[in-house]
Amino acid sequence: MNIDHHETFRRSIDKTLAGEVSLQEEKSLREHLQSCASCQNYLSAETRIIASLSGFSFEVDPGLATRVCASLQLRAQQLEARHPSQQQWLWCCLTALLLTVVGSFIDLQLGNVAATVLGVQPAHLRQELLIHWIVPSVCLLLLFLLMPTLLAPSTKRKESAQ
């Protein structure tokens, strides 16, 4: 595999111009530049490019910052409006609670019938219903209760903590 030493030195030149070269690389680069016209030309070209960029300028519309801030504020208001209100969260929680209680009651009442049809012990079926229906339903209900806190913007949480 043929290694291009000039490419290595060109990278060192780029690092030097960016101010990111180590002392060892800088010393090696200076020694190489004394004898290599190709790398001297590369350094000269890169220096001219950087010098020409310092004269590059453009005008920014003075109202741009105001328009950007207004646009960000509008978007924040739109996102805030999409968050459910406390009353909507309360209804979701009550609905989840109702579905958990009613579903659990129905499952437990029909468990004896299902146990007979399936040929399993009623206690075993109740245990399975507890594990696979009631516990996940209660966890989901708790998640509904925690959602307003979890979804609140961090600034509101910080303000309430103070």
Per-residue pLDDT tens over the stretch 29-81: 889 889 988 889 988 988 888 877 776 666 767 787 788 888 888 888 887 77
Local structure of 83: helix, strand or coil: coil
Average pLDDT over residues 125-142: 81
Round the average pLDDT of the chain to a whole number and report it: 78
Strands (E), 64-162: none
Per-residue pLDDT tens digits for 7-17: 888 888 888 88
Kindly report the pTM of this predicted structure. Answer: 0.36
- Residue found under tokens 């070209």: 45
